[in-house]
Amino acid sequence: MFIEIENGVDIIGDIHGCYDEWLELLEKLGYQKNKQGLYVHPNNRKIISLGDIMSRGPKSIQTMEFFLKHMNAGICYMIDSNHGWKIARWLDGRKVQLRHGDEKVEEEFLHYEKEHGEKSAKRLKKELRDLLMNVPSHYILTLNGEKKVVCVHAGIREKYIGTESEKIKSFCRYGDVAGMDEKGKPIRRDWFNHYKGELLVVWGHDPKEEPLIVNNTINIDQGVVFGGKLTAYRYPENEFVFVHAKQDYSGVSDNPLKRK
């Protein structure tokens, strides 16, 4: 749950299968592909994903394979998320309803199996299932042993930081949810308006056109899959780096970036 970031860290917002934009952002951040096919930074910076690396977008499997390879190599980290948890349970063979873009992951795996065979598909599914099932609800970043930043997908209360339970995992995946609306979408409470903690919280999940900075919290989901931007927050530099989406991949009429 704790990561020491002596050489700096690049925290990445929701990628949602926008693999081409992800590689473009890596290059913009200064990461270089080595002989082993791994993207590494010359200053040994670390990558931390806020989750939702898959679903909705066009290249979920490639994005998940990237993180599988780089996390196994100890180069980057990722936290739990709502889409990540749904896909983990589907990969585990559980009965889950794939919607809100999760169904695109199933479609990709059907193509993957046709191209690479059933055995390869089963092996990849197990590796990704094991990865996604075991990521933490949040990370605490330390600098010289001192707590500085909390990375979480959808939100966290100050009293939850540094602890783990099913209740905390759910809050971190979905945020402060007050039921569903008539369209079956979650009604979200703005937990960040009540956050009073000293640790900076960097989160994603709820797309905003620009980074939202409130009460020592920063939202860095700028809706790349909805035609917005993919965002990296660089710490301790306190800098934002963006890559614009090549298109709106989501196919939804109710685009969260276009709501009035």
Residue 60's alpha-carbon distances to 17, 57, 123, 137, in angstroms, are: 4, 7, 16, 21
Flag whether 46 is in a domain. yes
Flag whether 158 is in a domain. yes
Mean pLDDT of the chain: 94
Secondary-structure percent of the chain, ordered helix, strand, coil, rounded to 5: 30, 25, 45
Cβ-contact 94, 129 below 8 angstroms: no
Show the domain range for 144.
Answer: 2-78+135-258
Q: pLDDT grade, residue 252 (50/70/90)?
A: confident
Query: In the predicted model, is pLDDT for residue 182 greater than 80?
Result: no
Query: In the predicted model, is pLDDT for residue 197 greater than 70?
Result: yes
CA geometry: angle 42, 43, 48, nearest 5 deg? 100
Is the model more confident about 158 or about 189? 158
Cβ-based neighbour number of residue 253 at 10 Å: 6
Flag whether 110 is in a domain. no
Cβ-based neighbour number of residue 258 at 10 Å: 13
Task: Report how many domains make up the chain.
Answer: 1
Flag whether 233 is in a domain. yes
Flag whether 94 is in a domain. no
* Contacts with 139 (C-beta within 8 Å, 6 or more apart), sequence order: 1, 2, 3, 48, 77, 79, 150, 151, 152
Q: What's the pLDDT at 180?
A: 63
Q: What's the pLDDT at 203?
A: 98
Flag whether 204 is in a domain. yes
12-16, 183-187, 237-241: which range is least confident on average?
183-187
CATH of the domain at 54: 3.60.21.10
CA 108/CA 115 separation, integer angstroms: 11
**pLDDT tens digit sequence for 91-147:** 999 888 888 888 999 999 999 999 999 999 999 999 999 999 999 999 999 999 999
pLDDT mean over 243-254: 90
pLDDT mean over 78-89: 96
Q: What's the pLDDT at 6?
A: 87
Cβ-contact 163, 136 below 8 angstroms: no
Q: What's the pLDDT at 186?
A: 66
17-21, 34-38, 219-223, 250-254: which range is least confident on average?
250-254
Query: In the predicted model, is pLDDT for residue 260 greater than 60?
Result: no
Q: What is the pTM of this model?
A: 0.94
pLDDT mean over 185-212: 91
Query: In the predicted model, is pLDDT for residue 253 greater than 90?
Result: no
Q: What's the pLDDT at 162?
A: 96
Spatial strand order in the sheet of 76-78: 76-78, 46-49, 9-12, 229-235, 239-244
Flag whether 175 is in a domain. yes
Flag whether 116 is in a domain. no
